[in-house]
Amino acid sequence: MTNAEIRQAVLAIIQDVAGLDELPEVKGDQPLREQLNLDSMDFLDIVMELRKRHRIEVPEADYPQLASLDSTVNYLAGVLGK
């Protein structure tokens, strides 16, 4: 998967979890929770979907690396072996 494909996959998961018909513009370097008004359960749901869809483990210690869209893409690129 390319970084662009990972980015689109992450945005699709966020859109599904947040229950949005249309996702607003998401800035890559800004915290996702603040931009999209996500609560802690939404964040955990996003992590669980990432784990399920990509068949990866995301240790709780790595959760801070999923704070922004850019950091999530970088984390997944490393885990998926891009």
Give me the pLDDT at residue 81, please: 80
In a structure prediction context, what are the per-residue pLDDT tens digits for the chain, which is 82 residues long? 899 999 999 999 999 988 878 888 999 999 999 998 889 999 999 999 999 998 999 999 999 999 999 999 999 999 988 5
At a CB cut-off of 8 Å and minimum separation 6, what does 76 contact? 1, 6, 10, 50, 54, 56
C-alpha span between 69 and 77 (Å, rounded)? 12
Alpha helix (H) ranges present in 1-82?
Answer: 3-18, 32-36, 40-54, 69-79
Instruction: Say what the pLDDT of residue 19 is.
Output: 82
User: Does residue 36 contact residue 18 with C-beta atoms inside 8 Å?
Assistant: yes
The pLDDT value recorded for residue 82 is 54
The topology under which CATH files domain 3-79 is 1.10.1200
Instruction: Give residue limits of the domains in the chain.
Output: 3-79
